[in-house]
């Protein structure tokens, strides 16, 4: 049991890291496209490009670690999720390829067309929407199992209120997380006009994020009552998350300590994310697969734990070095050199 808990905890940390880093990336791309559409790109485009330039290549490292680790620790997930997620996962890969290609060509080439800017920006919202479907499927009720195969019931999936609640939450949270971070980043760059606009976006997307998060709990009551009951038992975790949200909102409203506001935001999502994961325990996929049934052998588990913990110990300092050299380098942030 200890190995299973360590394995799923390490994977959950990698997934949370991806959610935060990718949300900033996806949201920044969308805000850049929206500013071009509204002819406000002169206000925030430089700030966004300054952020994206050094980090866009490392955003998906967390996701790669997560998927490799999921299949390594829990080989059965390759059969269950690999079969039913062929279409959603393929869509996500295509969108990721579009974003990566655009940014490479726009950074190192001359690809400056508005159409590609829009494609890059809006694809960043479709990626979390398509990936979030995994959470819906994990709640059960969408897979039909026969003797030799699994079949995803697309009609039930796309007509379920739970599906659209999770999709909308993925969109609102991406924009909220990104806007709060970019507000802090613009403030560090001493760009008051960009700071004011991005702060406005953060406040706009804060309330929809909390409303949709609450809506998921309501939808779970009718879709997966066992998970709903488990979440109620962990009410104190979600209360802490709510208080951190209010503290973040207060700092944004008062126009001060944007760095602390972002740290509180990370705490808010961290507590809620782990509360959701703990309440989902022990299932990887209702009702077919639990972490005990799908776990690998002990030798492989130990090897994977050592490798992934070592990887985490290398990845986090590397990201901190990247932040220090570029994102939080005073001269770079203020646009005094390109880095």
**Which carries the bigger pLDDT value, residue 36 or residue 271?**
271
d(CA 288, CA 76): 10
Confidence of residue 312 (pLDDT cuts 50, 70, 90): confident
**pLDDT value, residue 134:** 86
Contacts of 88 (CB under 8 A, 6+ apart): 130, 131, 133, 134
Q: Is-contact 177 27, C-beta < 8 A?
A: yes
Average pLDDT over every residue of 118-143: 84
**pLDDT value, residue 147:** 66
Average pLDDT over every residue of 107-132: 75
Q: Residue 173 pLDDT more than 90? A: yes
Q: Residue 336 pLDDT more than 80? A: no
**pLDDT value, residue 135:** 87
User: What pLDDT, in 10s, does the model give residues 62-78?
Assistant: 777 787 888 888 887 77
144: phi then psi, degrees, rounded to nearest 5: -105, 120
**pLDDT value, residue 252:** 94
Q: What is the mean pLDDT of the chain?
A: 82
User: What pLDDT, in 10s, does the model give residues 269-285?
Assistant: 999 999 998 998 888 88
**pLDDT value, residue 329:** 62
Q: Residue 97 pLDDT more than 60? A: yes
What is the reported pTM?
0.89
CA 124 to chain centre: 11
Q: Residue 107 pLDDT more than 70? A: no
**pLDDT value, residue 188:** 83
Average pLDDT over every residue of 157-185: 91
Burial of 306 (0-12, 13-18, 19+ CB in 10 A): exposed
Selection from 180, 176, 88, 170 nearest residue 125 by Cα: 170
């Amino acid at each position: 049991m200890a190995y299973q808990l360590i394995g799923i905890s390490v994977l959950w940390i990698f997934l949370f890291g991806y959610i935060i880093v990718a949300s900033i990336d996806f949201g920044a791309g969308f805000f850049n496209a929206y500013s071009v559409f509204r002819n406000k790109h002169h206000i925030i485009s430089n700030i966004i490009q300054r952020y994206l330039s050094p980090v866009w290549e490392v955003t998906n490292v967390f996701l790669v670690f997560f998927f490799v680790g999921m299949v390594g620790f829990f080989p059965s997930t390759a059969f269950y999720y690999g079969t039913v997620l062929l279409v959603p996962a393929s869509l996500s890969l295509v969108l990721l390829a579009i974003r990566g290609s655009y940014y490479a060509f726009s950074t190192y080439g001359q690809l400056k067309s508005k159409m590609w800017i829009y494609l890059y920006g809006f694809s960043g919202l479709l990626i979390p929407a398509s990936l979030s479907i995994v959470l819906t499927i994990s709640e059960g009720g969408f897979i039909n199992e026969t003797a030799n195969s699994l079949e995803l019931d697309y009609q039930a999936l796309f007509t379920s209120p739970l599906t659209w609640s999770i999709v909308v939450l993925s969109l609102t949270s991406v924009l909220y997380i990104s806007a709060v971070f970019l507000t802090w980043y613009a403030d560090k760059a001493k760009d008051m006009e960009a700071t004011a606009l991005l702060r406005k976006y953060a406040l706009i997307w804060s309330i929809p994020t909390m409303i949709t998060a609450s809506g998921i709990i309501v939808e779970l009551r009718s879709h997966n009552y066992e998970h709903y009951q488990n979440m109620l038992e962990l009410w104190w975790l979600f209360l802490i998350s709510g208080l951190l949200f209010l503290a973040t909102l207060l700092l944004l409203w008062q126009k001060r300590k944007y760095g602390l506001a972002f740290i509180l935001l990370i705490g808010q999502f961290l507590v809620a994310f782990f509360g959701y994961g703990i309440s989902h325990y022990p299932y990887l996929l209702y009702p077919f697969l639990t972490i005990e049934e799908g776990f690998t052998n002990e030798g492989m588990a130990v090897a994977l734990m050592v490798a992934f913990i070592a990887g985490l110990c290398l990845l986090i300092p590397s990201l901190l070095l990247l932040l220090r050299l570029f994102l939080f380098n005073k001269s770079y942030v203020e646009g005094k050199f390109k880095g």
